[in-house]
Amino acid sequence: MYDLSGYYDNCSCNLNFDLINGNTEPVTVILPFCGMCNRNKYLQDSRKKSRLSKNDSMIFKEIIPVNTTEDQTQMVFIDAFLQNNRLDHLTQLMGYHPTYLENFLRTQQYLLRGDGPLPFHYRHYIAIMAASRHQCTYLIHLHEEEFILQNGDPDWLKGPTHIPKKIRNLFELNKLMAHRPWLINKSHIDKLTRGKDNWSLSELMQAICLIAHFHAMCSFVYGCGVRNELDHNGESLHRRLSMSDDSDSDTQGNEPEVKIEVLMERMKKLNEDDSDDPTEEERLKRFESIENQSVELISSSIPSPRVEVLKYCEDPEFCYQDFAKRDNLDSIPTFRAQDYNWEEHGFSLANRLLSDIGSNLEDRFNIAINLTYYTMGKVKNVDTSAFRCAIWNYIHCLYGIMHDDFNYSQVNQLLDRNLKSYIKTVTCYPERLTKKDYDSCMQEFRHSEKVHVNLMLLEARLQGELLYSLRAVMQHMT
Catalytically annotated residues: 136
- Contact at 8 Å (CB) between 160 and 311? yes
What is each CA distance from 217 to 31, 221, 391, 430, in whole angstroms? 21, 6, 17, 10
CA atoms within 13 Å, Cβ hemisphere of 334: 19
- Contact at 8 Å (CB) between 95 and 76? yes
Query: 232-236: which pairs have CB atoms within 8 A and are 24 or more residues apart?
Result: 232/49, 232/137, 232/141, 233/137, 233/306, 233/308, 236/52, 236/56
- Contact at 8 Å (CB) between 452 and 96? yes
**DSSP secondary structure letters along 275-340:** -----HHHHHHHHHHHHHHHTT----PPPPPPHHHHTT-SSTT-----GGG-S-TTTS--EETTTS
Short-list 203, 228, 179, CA closest to 111: 203
**Which residues make beta-bridge pairs with 380?**
375
Query: Which one-letter DSSP state was computed for residue 118?
Result: S
CA atoms of 438 and 444, how far apart (whole Å): 12
Report residue 356 CA to chain centroid gap.
Answer: 20
**Which residues make beta-bridge pairs with 231?**
50
Helices first, then strands: H and E counts in the chain:
22, 4
Query: For the chain, how long is the longest CA-to-CA vector?
Result: 74
Per-residue burial over 99-108, b = 16 or more CB atoms within 10 Å of its CB, e = otherwise:
ebbbbbbbbb
